[in-house]
Amino acid sequence: MTTDFRRLADLEVQGRRVLVRADLNVPLKSGQVGDDSRIRASLPTLRVLLERGAAVLLLSHLGRPYGSEERYRMKPVAERLQELLGDSVPVRYESADSPAAPEQQEFARGAEPGTVTLLENTRFDSRETENDPEFARILASYGDLFVNDAFGAAHRAHASTVGIARLLPSAAGLLLEAELRALEQLTVDPRRPFHVVIGGAKVSDKLPVLKRLVDLVDELHIGGAMACTFLAARGGRLGRSLVEEDQFETALSLLELAERRNVRVHLPADFICAAAPEAGSRVSLHPASAVPDDLMALDIGPATAGTFNRSLERARTIFWNGPMGVFEIREFSIGTMAVAQSVAANPGFTVIGGGDSVAAINQAGLADSISHVSTGGGASLEFLEGKELPGVAALTGSQA
């Protein structure tokens, strides 16, 4: 882990304006916050700054807007943040077409100690993702100090994660530091056996981290639709399941590499199948390599869940990223919920990364039984892959 950046405790914030980049990219349902996990994760840093007399100005992106889309305004986040912080801490918000718009600049000047000022969605301005120097300069002008607490965006070299850090005295927030410390335990002398459960849709999305994991782990459990590509590459019949034929050679080479490294790979033995991933579908159970031509594999079956569970009982370190099926639909959630229960029951060091995996563990009501629930799926995978995270690297070169 990079250790030569300042921590929150190193900053003198009394009476100063502190610009905080948080990851408040939460799901919205009917104009309201659907899951406030990321907002809650930002609270410890905000509360420390407020208790120490700072004026907090808060930046985040929300969704993937094209310009200033009404549905991606930060208002629902501001309302939920106000509820969580309570009436004693005023949360200020004013909509705008850009967090750098003239009216936002005027609004930011009204921030006072003991208050939180939530600025508009950083991605309303295209200059954010370009790490535009002028955009970063305007945002930096709002604060005296900068705190990056957005681990979920740490793998993005954007103006609000990298550009500002180059312009202001900067430090890592409590969440960012905790994320790095937890993930470091997976890469530096983890307690063994070290097991990884990985799922999701495509092998191609997780190819780099799969290659890296073969060098790190003792056992690898592959589920979700991505398992179909591995099984099909071995000659299995997968019906209408999602299969990446252009990844067959890669899948086989990964399995061969794992064998050379003495890494045991667990692939599904059975699947719960249906004609389409729809609620109320008629489901049936089939061997993993004999899915009928008119059906799709949409969840791992009970035999696979049992095998995964018995294997995970042996683990002393577990990392889980990606669901075992279309868990949002009840008929195809059994495998993912079984994995959630297995990981939660393990007394060792357990880490969950990735939005879908986090949603699943929350759906199961088991988040409190996990050692660390990461707020950044993409960032956690890139960390495990061995990549430098730009948002973290920028803190090491910030102004004194």
* Domains, the chain: 8-179 (3.40.50.1260), 189-381 (3.40.50.1260)
Query: How far is it, in rounded angstroms, from Cα 60 to Cα 25?
Result: 7
Options 137, 240, 316, 378, the catalytic residue: 378
Is residue 38 among the annotated active site residues?
Answer: yes
Tell me how far apart the alpha carbons of residues 85 and 74 are, in angstroms, rounded to a whole number. 16
Q: What is the pTM of this model?
A: 0.89
> Sign of the C-alpha dihedral, residues 180, 186, 253, 376?
negative
Q: Which of 163, 335, 355, 376 is the catalytic position?
A: 355
Residue with tokens 């004999």: 290
CA gap 74, 119 in Å, rounded: 8
Q: Which of 38, 80, 92, 127 is catalytic?
A: 38
235 is a catalytic site residue: no
- Rg (the chain; Cα; Å): 22
Determine whether 355 is an active site residue.
yes
What are the residues whose beta carbons fall under 8 Å from the beta carbon of 151, sequence distance 6 or more? 23, 175, 176, 179, 180, 374, 375, 376, 379, 391
On the CB side of 213, CA atoms within 13 Å amount to 25
Cβ–Cβ < 8 Å for 46, 150: no
Give the span between the Cα atoms of 347 and 317, in whole angstroms. 9
Tens-binned pLDDT, residue by residue, of the chain (400 aa):
455 678 999 999 999 999 999 999 998 989 999 889 899 999 999 999 999 999 999 999 999 999 999 999 999 999 999 999 999 999 999 999 999 999 999 999 999 999 999 999 999 999 999 999 999 999 999 999 999 999 999 999 999 999 999 999 999 999 999 999 999 999 999 999 999 999 988 888 888 888 899 999 999 999 999 999 999 999 999 999 999 999 999 999 999 999 999 999 999 999 999 999 999 999 999 999 999 999 999 999 999 999 999 999 999 999 999 999 999 999 999 999 999 999 999 999 999 987 788 889 988 999 999 999 998 888 888 898 888 999 999 998 555 4
Q: Choose the catalytic residue: 202, 211, 237, 387.
A: 202
| 236 catalytic per annotation | no
**DSSP character at residue 7:** B
